[in-house]
């Protein structure tokens, strides 16, 4: 395992060079990997593992969109596609990739099939970290590991097809066989990770929930909405407000940040933009720091988990979600976005 230094901090990382795909195949040569759940992460991980030469089956309830999607992706009922219980019984490694709410409801049907020596795999630390609330308490004689790609299953698959990789974190919660770490790393390489960095289940879920509610989604959406509203209030057109708030960010600046970092992005903008950004970043950081402190506290105390579990357990959640998303989509900023995107040159 390699070491990566960030100032005074050292991290454990695993690259494809030190743990190549062939070693991963050898590590899992006798394994049957069941992908339980074919929603957000399931399709990408399942197809990447299959394409990389691993023995993979899918467990998914028949009759729904996810089951039909699995068939469309080439999984064959009775051969590589089964009901959840049968898939778990056939597998030596169960990749538990249902939604957090789905994991809670399906757990009583899964746990009887977690017999000695098997491996239980997660891509999110939620179920284990908040086990007093979720009831997901694995048997003591199975390995429990995590590989969490830092992006959606769709991104994982697209990058895999392009010959690239999405970085992932990995962790071992329980090592019953003495092989849990190698199993986790091999699975991480198998699903197409660019490299793997070590964490634990609690840190993974705390950082993930904070990030989703903060910079990655919630905070980003809130900043966009606030800036767009200010520009519109002062007489700027919807097109101008959207382009200065969203289009330039997503189409120009974020790719520069992703390529070589924030300083490089600053260096490749005008002096006017550089000076304003470098000065105002301090005010924004100081303004939102208390919000992030409050957010992290709610995540670490389990309050955010309680909200998520309650919402996911509501039989009317999907209808309520659709209404919320429709409200977002109908906001002027995103209606303007539809128009702007329609005018982009065809590539």
24 in a structural domain: yes
> Domain holding 13: CATH number?
3.40.50.720
CA atoms within 13 A on the CB side of 321: 9
* 146 and 77 housed in the same domain: yes
208 in a structural domain: no
pLDDT at 249 over 70: yes
pLDDT at 176 over 70: yes
* 195 and 218 housed in the same domain: no
Expressed as residue numbers, the domain containing 156 is 2-199
204 in a structural domain: no
Which strand ranges, in their side-by-side order, compose the sheet holding 93-96?
2-6, 9-15, 193-198, 166-174, 143-149, 119-122, 93-96, 33-36, 56-59, 81-82
* 194 and 223 housed in the same domain: no
Please state, rounded to an integer, the average pLDDT across all residues of the chain: 95
Adjacent-strand bridge partners of 172: 145
- Residue-wise pLDDT for 110-168, tens only, equals 999 999 999 999 999 999 999 999 999 999 999 999 999 998 899 999 999 999 999 99
Distances (CA, A) of 17 to 1, 189, 330: 10, 11, 48
What the block records as the tokens of 49 is: 């593992």
- Residue-wise pLDDT for 322-343, tens only, equals 999 999 999 999 999 999 999 9
- Residue-wise pLDDT for 121-134, tens only, equals 999 999 999 999 99
DSSP 90-149: H-SEEEE-S-HHHHHHHHHHHGGG--TT-EEEESSSHHHHTHHHH-----TTSEEEEEEE
Give the CA-trace dihedral at 264, 268, 274, 280, to 10 degrees: -50
* 130 and 249 housed in the same domain: no
What average pLDDT does the segment 257-263 reach? Answer: 94
Last residue of a domain, one of 199, 229, 256: 199
* 180 and 266 housed in the same domain: no
DSSP at 252: I
Count of domains for the chain = 2
271 in a structural domain: yes
Q: Specify the pLDDT at position 347.
A: 63
- Residue-wise pLDDT for 182-233, tens only, equals 999 999 999 999 899 999 999 999 999 999 999 999 999 999 999 999 999 9
Grouping H, G, I as helix, E, B as strand and the rest as coil, residue 246 is helix
At 215, phi and psi to the nearest 5? Answer: -60, -40
* 46 and 133 housed in the same domain: yes
- Residue-wise pLDDT for 268-289, tens only, equals 999 999 999 999 999 999 999 9
Beta-sheet pairing, 93-96 with 81-82:
unpaired
**Which residue of the set 109, 113, 124, 234 is catalytic?**
124
CA distance 248 to 260: 17
CA distance 229 to 332: 10
Q: Specify the pLDDT at position 75.
A: 98
Catalytic site includes residue 124: yes
- Residue-wise pLDDT for 79-114, tens only, equals 999 999 999 999 999 999 999 989 999 999 999 999
**Model-level pTM?**
0.90
* 6 and 136 housed in the same domain: yes
What average pLDDT does the segment 33-43 reach? Answer: 96
304 in a structural domain: yes
């Amino acid at each position: 395992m390699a070491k990566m230094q960030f100032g005074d901090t050292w991290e454990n990382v695993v690259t494809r060079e030190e743990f190549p795909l062939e070693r991963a195949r050898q590590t899992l040569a006798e394994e049957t990997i069941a992908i339980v759940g074919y929603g957000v992460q399931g399709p990408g991980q399942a197809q990447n593992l299959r394409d990389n030469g691993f023995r993979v089956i899918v467990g998914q309830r028949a009759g729904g969109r996810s089951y039909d999607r699995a068939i469309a992706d080439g999984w064959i009922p009775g051969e590589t596609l089964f009901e959840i219980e049968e898939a778990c019984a056939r597998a030596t490694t169960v990749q538990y990739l249902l939604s957090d709410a789905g994991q809670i409801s399906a757990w009583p049907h899964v746990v009887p099939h977690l017999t000695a020596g098997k491996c239980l795999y997660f891509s999110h630390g939620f179920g284990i970290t908040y086990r007093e609330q979720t009831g997901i308490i694995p048997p003591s004689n199975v390995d429990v590991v995590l590989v969490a790609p830092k992006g959606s299953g769709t991104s994982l698959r697209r990058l895999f097809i392009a010959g690239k990789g999405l970085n992932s974190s990995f962790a071992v919660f329980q090592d019953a066989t003495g092989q849990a770490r190698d199993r986790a790393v091999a699975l991480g390489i198998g699903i197409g990770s660019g490299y793997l960095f070590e964490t634990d289940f609690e840190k993974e879920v705390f950082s993930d929930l904070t990030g989703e509610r903060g910079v990655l989604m919630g905070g980003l959406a809130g900043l966009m909405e606030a800036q767009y509203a200010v520009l519109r209030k002062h007489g700027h057109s919807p097109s101008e407000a959207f382009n200065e708030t969203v289009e330039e960010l997503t189409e120009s600046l974020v790719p520069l940040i992703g390529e070589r970092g924030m300083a490089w992005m600053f260096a490749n903008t005008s002096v006017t933009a550089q000076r304003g950004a470098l000065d105002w970043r301090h005010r924004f950081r100081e303004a939102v720091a208390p919000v992030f402190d409050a957010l992290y506290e709610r995540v670490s105390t389990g309050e955010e988990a309680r909200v998520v579990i309650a919402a996911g357990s509501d039989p009317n959640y999907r209808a309520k979600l659709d209404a919320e998303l429709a409200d977002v989509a109908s906001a002027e900023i995103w209606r303007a976005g539809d128009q702007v995107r329609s005018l982009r040159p065809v590539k």
